[in-house]
Structure 1
Amino acid sequence: MTAGVDTSFDFNSDTPAGKDPDSFSPTLRRYHQLLWSKELPNGAAFDLAPEGRQYMVHRSPVGVFHLASDTITTRLRKRAWAVVREIPENDLPEYSGYTVGSTLVFPGNVVGGKQTINGARGFHAKIADRFDLTLECIRRHYLGQPNPLADTLRRYADFFALFGDFGGYVKFFLLQDLMEDDGQTIRFFHPFADFSTPAVPRTAEEYLNYLQASNTFIRARNRRIDENP
């Protein structure tokens, strides 16, 4: 396991009340630094460090990259409120927690006054802040294919180029548990048909299945992080 990273730690526990752990948890920031400061697929070092008020910054001959944290396992409680209110609280699966397996870093700098990746994936109705759908957009970005986040991802093309290809990106950020065995098909949390299907579950059964799939991913990624040398 990565020294100093506890995959059972809940980042809400060291975040001031009412604040967002992605911005205010010192443990989460340290874990991101420990996990993602490592060798890129091309052999170059990708070292991260806090810098002033910036969340995390990399500076080297490969470029300057300003990164920010974001959760990648939304429970969609507000977006699916009409469904959630029909489900008894005891029937909802236990949340796997705000642990490191449910977080990732994305470029956090604003380009051309437009939305960052975090902002765009949260506001786009076809994504609804879901990371499985975001990852499908990233997969298509590497292939040069249209996708709902295409314009946003192109603004950060230099960041994605660091990982060579989609497989390199998935491996670097330990996202293999969101992929099918072929390494190219996303293991979606909810039925998917080329972004024509609703991003938000519309029935209680769909919502419960979504939560189970999301929790399964969090647990699997935490195990992978534990096993990562």
Structure 2
Amino acid sequence: MAIIDIDFDFRQDSKCGDPDTDSQKLYEAHKFLWSKELPNGKIFTLEIKGDSYGRFLIRNNLCMNLSSDRMCPHFDGKYSNKFDGWLSDLEKEELKHKVRTIGGHIVFPAHKKNGFTINQARGVSRIICDRFDLTLECIRRFYRDEESPLSKTLTNYKDFFDLFIDFKGYVDFFHLQDFIDQQEQVEFSLPFDNFNRPPLPQTIDEYKQYKEHTIDLMKKRNKRILENLYQIN
């Protein structure tokens, strides 16, 4: 895979409806993108591992297996259908499509370690509700030895985060530069008050704001990924 189609919706390559579980194309993209030199100078070597149930993992040479994770939720059909009617069908599908392109996916350690995985912890947390901007803020604080709602879980996977040395190393490695500002502060999709306000959109306008900001981030990250591939080739 020399070039990745940054507009491809990996839902089209999933039999179970969850590309993070069974999309061969998604895992091939992850392998291609993240098999490279780490900020610590070591080479990250990734291989795709499948099981008899059609689920994929990523085996590597430096830490436990990794798995794909959709970074940004769309909220549709969740939370007792709270958001029904807040976006048009066209708006909902636009958001669902963008978060399922390669720019909407990242990898985390796949297996439980003294509790939830990172993927699970950010999904079940009522303070995070699976939002990647809030997850990224927790990761930023982890590198600064500051507390966050995900502190315990992230600490369990310190060996993974140590591969990237610091927050900038993590951001640069995964092409997340557009998720932060020049002071390395996270650019939030909704108003942020130190994890005190509810993480879900509270009004239709907030939902639309979240949608537009998320789609913009996906477009920018896809562009960075593509530009990086052309530099490599």
Give the match for residue 223 of structure 2.
223
Count of aligned pairs between the two proteins? 222
Residue 100 of structure 1 aligns with an amino acid whose one-letter code is I
Is residue 178–residue 221 contact of structure 2 (8 Å, CA) maintained in 1? yes
- Residues 52-201 of structure 1 correspond to what in structure 2 (within 5 A)? 52-53=50-51, 55-59=57-61, 63-77=62-76, 78-79=78-79, 81-89=81-89, 94-95=94-95, 96-97=97-98, 98-112=100-114, 114-182=115-183, 184-201=184-201
CA pair 156-93 structure 1, distance change in 2 beyond 3 A: same
Task: Tell me the TM-score normalised to structure 1 length.
Answer: 0.91
Give % identity.
41
Is residue 80–residue 201 contact of structure 1 (8 Å, CA) maintained in 2? no
CA pair 26-87 structure 1, distance change in 2 beyond 3 A: closer
**Structure with more relative contact order (C-alpha pairs < 8 Å, separation 6 or more):** 1
Residue 198 of structure 1 deviates from its aligned partner by: 1.1
More displaced, 27-36 or 67-76?
67-76
Q: Structure 2: how far apart are the matches of 1:87 and 1:175?
A: 27
Is residue 75–residue 83 contact of structure 2 (8 Å, CA) maintained in 1? no
Structure 1 gaps, min length 5: none
Deviations 1:140-187 (A, max 9, x none): 0000101000000000001000000000000000000111122x2101
Residue 82 of structure 1 deviates from its aligned partner by: 2.4
Is residue 46–residue 58 contact of structure 2 (8 Å, CA) maintained in 1? yes
Residue 147 of structure 2 aligns with an amino acid whose one-letter code is P
Is residue 68–residue 108 contact of structure 2 (8 Å, CA) maintained in 1? yes
Q: Secondary structure at the match of 2:79?
A: coil
Is residue 103–residue 221 contact of structure 2 (8 Å, CA) maintained in 1? yes
Give the match for residue 13 of structure 2.
14
Structure 2 gaps, min length 5: none
Task: Tell me the TM-score normalised to structure 2 length.
Answer: 0.90
More displaced, 84-93 or 156-165?
84-93
